[in-house]
Chains A and B, each alone.
Chain A
């Protein structure tokens, strides 16, 4: 079975080129359009009670903001409660630290095979690639992740990783890698994957999972899933490693109820998931199953930068439902791969700059028409467009400017010409005389407007000043009335 990790994938630095390629890919656009239309319709159906929806969104926003307001204390409380229950807690500031911690655990157990439940954070740290370089095989068990891993690709959506693939493409992949018959019967294809993966659960040395919510009050890790692969990965292997970003903690067990109520409905328009798994420690001495040993890796990787300031902190409210992607006119047309980041779409545009720095991701916050669809559907009310505007500002800001809350890669898009242009704009629009002079100049010399205006005229007619300024028209109107 070929489940090697991806060795080549688009990078965020080439986002513009990636987008152009994606726009030219007609089958991809068709798959995305069909899938996103269906997801939007289904979401609307299961959240049709507007009063319930808005009250629940407000409550969920409050739950997440409350948790973030006490984040350091809650992390310490979580660690204490997990430790009491026999879980070893590890802290990683960087991707490299997280990789090494996980490899260290594998090495201690002489582990050669890891079975992975769905974990976006493990994608973030490129764990499969890293483990492969150490001679360890890591197999994705979520069906969508299994497919994209087999195809040597990255997930294109955080909830439905293989949404861009047709059943025929999946069948061919399975045929080539698992030796199964070619079929367009989805039940059969699912059965092929089931058979292949049940052997992996049984023989894996380590099971790895993500975390949807970590409860500080009880030391409980919650996993939301439909397939049962998360349950198998966290139950059958002798060692379970969970990995999560530091922001996923909530204060109390009751906090998970409204969040879980929203997550499947907002994500895929499903009233409830098949399984909601709440794990509180490894197997106890008298128990007959569950992991004998359990670890939690808490990853920072730039999240503490986002946490540093109130406006940016709201990025960390995210519960990874993917609704913002499903409703984004940009994501819907280019898909997740074009972003070249672990988290694509609107949430990816605002979280990736913290994880990877603006040097690599400066173009991402510009991939937004500010339509606000993502803000309207966000179950925890993240002001995504505000964040986007702020990140654009930070990318344009001079790299040498001293600010209270510096963002990694500040000034990545800074240009002297644009800076001057904005100063002129600011000066002209901020002073009456200058504004009037600009108006006179623009209307008088409008005939000299260049027919080519940078990128604008690639898709639009040239901008040309009006024949008269607003003041002139108002003055004329006033005169005509008299």
Chain B
């Protein structure tokens, strides 16, 4: 018999009694956090994100490129990895080029430009699928346009996040985005830049992945950015 059959035979021999499904939905209906309004929820999300060194900039749909350029210049970035096949990627490209920042594209398979990618790319720019307020998280999915290493290998990760796509919890996000129905090859939840506390329990950022996480949080017109910074 193969190892597979042996293992399965041993497990089946135990004749474990089947149990009911766990009541996860009931738990999250009862225990999910709630906020008085959208502003309080956003403030909570930002507080959690900033607690782990995420840089958040409140921006508008029509002018986020300005902030992208400002921050990139402050960080003395020479180039940025941007998708050329997405609407936001095209807008970022135009803005970066106007500001004389080099635009790089993920044009070939990672295997063909690994050395260059690791050595030369200063920052990666991606969009996000949604946010999770409770834990201060953004969720990204891999795609042909935005491969998973675009948010991983460069030392700085810029992420464009539409704050209208905010869920209260991971459970709500999973249900709302119907993840189980069609999982992409990679879904990543991110709460801050790479970090570690492995040396004498001392927190250090930039362990292996991005040292900086910059979120351009796009606000709808009815929310004033100033309201989000009061006691945030």
Pick the contact of B204: A56, A92, A190, A279 (CB < 8 A).
Answer: A190
CB-CB contacts of B1-42 with A at 8 A, as 1s and 0s? 011101110111110111111111101101100000000000
Q: Collect the chain A residues with CB atoms within 8 Å of residue B137's CB.
A: 272
- Nearest residue in A to B113 (C-beta to C-beta)? A288
Answer whether residue A75 sits at the interface, using C-beta atoms and an 8 A cutoff.
Answer: yes
Shortest Cβ distance from B48 into A: residue: A271
Minimum CB–CB distance from B175 to chain A (whole Å) comes to 8
Contact status B108-A63, CB under 8 Å = no
Nearest CB in chain A: distance from B54 CB, A: 10
Asked whether B152 is an interface residue with its Cβ less than 8 Å from the other chain, the reply is: yes
Q: Which of A35, A71, A228, A304 contacts B208 (CB 8 A)?
A: A228
A35 to B197, CA, bound (A): 11
Shortest distance from the beta carbon of B140 to any chain A beta carbon, whole Å: 10
Chain B residues positioned under 8 Å from A191 (CB to CB): 206
Contact A66 B22 (CB under 8 A): yes
Per-residue A-contact encoding for B148-175, CB less than 8 Å = 1, 0 else: 1100110000000000000001110011
Among B7, B180, B191, B208, the residue within 8 A (CB) of A273 is B191
Chain A residues 209-242 with CB under 8 Å of chain B are 217-220, 226-229, 231-232, 235-236, 238
Q: Which B73-90 residues have a C-beta within 8 angstroms of A?
A: none
Give min CB distance, B226 to chain A, whole Å.
27
Query: B52 within 8 Å of A by Cβ?
Result: yes
Q: What is the CA–CA distance of A253 and B202 in the complex, to the nearest angstrom?
A: 34
Is there an interface contact between B209 and A258, defined as CB atoms closer than 8 Å? Answer: no
Contact check, B208 vs A289: say whether CB atoms are below 8 A apart: no
Which chain A residue has the least Cβ–Cβ distance from B54?
A274
* Stretch of B63-71, B181-189, B215-223 that contacts chain A: B181-189
A274-B195 CB under 8 A given contacts A194-B208, A307-B14: yes
**Known interface pairs A143-B207, A278-B183; A288-B109 also in contact (CB < 8 Å):** yes
- Cα–Cα, bound, A287→B169 (Å): 29
CA distance A142 to B209 in the complex (A): 12
Per-position 1/0 for A253-275, Cβ under 8 A of B? 11101101100000010011111
> What residue in chain A is nearest B5 (Cβ atoms)?
A91
Interface residues on B, range: 35 or more
Q: Are A308 and B13 in contact (CB under 8 A)?
A: yes
CA distance A226 to B210 in the complex (A): 11
In Å, the complex CA distance between A289 and B152 comes to 11
Partner of A147, one of B20, B30, B114, B199: B199
Report whether B111 and A238 are in contact in the complex, using a CB–CB cutoff of 8 Å. yes
Q: How far is the CA of A271 from the CA of B132 in the complex (A)?
A: 13
Complex Cα distance, B193 from A256, in Å, reads: 23
Quick one: closest B residue to A148, CB to CB?
B198
Residues of A with C-beta under 8 A to B31 = 52, 55-56
Contact A231 B188 (CB under 8 A): yes
* Residue from the list B48, B108, B114, B207 in contact with A229, Cβ < 8 A: B207
Contact across chains for B114 and A236 when beta carbons are under 8 A apart: yes
A246 at the interface (CB under 8 A from B): yes
Give which listed residue, A38, A167, A228, contacts B209 with CB less than 8 A.
Answer: A228
Q: CA separation between A195 and B211, bound complex, in Å?
A: 13
The residue on A at minimum CB distance from B6 is A93
- The reply to whether A72 and B8 form a contact with Cβ atoms under 8 Å apart is yes
Partner of B170, one of A69, A220, A246, A260: A260
Cα–Cα, bound, A180→B211 (Å): 21
Interface residue? A414 (CB, 8 A): no
Which residues of B lie under 8 Å from residue A34 when comparing CB positions? Answer: 201
Question: Which residue of the partner chain B has the closest CB to A273?
Answer: B191
Contact assessment for A162 and B198 in the assembled complex, using a CB-CB cutoff below 8 Å = yes
Shortest beta-carbon distance from A103 to chain B in Å: 16
B19 engages A65 (CB within 8 Å): yes
Whether the Cβ atoms of B209 and A227 lie closer than 8 Å is yes
A276: CB under 8 A from chain B? yes
How far, in angstroms, from A70 to B186 measured CA to CA in the complex? 26
Is B100 in contact with chain A by the CB < 8 A criterion? no
Q: Is the CB of A59 within 8 A of B24?
A: yes
Knowing A65-B19, A272-B136, A290-B185 are in contact, say whether A254-B118 is a contact too (CB < 8 A). Answer: no
Which of B153, B187, B196 is A227 in contact with, Cβ under 8 Å?
Answer: B196
Q: Are A287 and B142 in contact (CB under 8 A)?
A: yes
Q: With the chains together, A282 CA to B142 CA distance in Å?
A: 12
Q: Is A397 an interface residue when CB atoms closer than 8 A count as contact?
A: no
A187 at the A/B interface (Cβ < 8 Å)? yes
Q: Are B180 and A252 in contact (CB under 8 A)?
A: yes
Question: In the bound complex, do residue B185 and residue A235 qualify as a contact, i.e. CB atoms below 8 Å apart?
Answer: no
Nearest CB of chain A from residue B195's CB, rounded to whole Å: 5
18 chain-A/chain-B pairs, Cβ below 8 angstroms: A34-B201, A38-B201, A71-B11, A85-B185, A91-B3, A163-B201, A190-B206, A191-B206, A235-B152, A236-B149, A253-B179, A254-B175, A257-B169, A283-B185, A287-B143, A288-B106, A289-B142, A310-B16
Report B's interface with A, CB cutoff 8 A: 2-4, 6-8, 10-14, 16-25, 27-28, 30-31, 48, 52, 106, 108-111, 114-115, 118, 135-137, 142-144, 147-149, 152-153, 169-171, 174-175, 179-180, 183-202, 204-210
8 more contacts with CB within 8 A, not counting A228-B207, A280-B184, are A70-B19, A76-B8, A167-B199, A231-B148, A274-B191, A275-B189, A278-B189, A288-B110
- Interchain residue pairs A-B with the least CB separation, the first 5: A228-B209, A144-B198, A228-B194, A304-B10, A276-B189
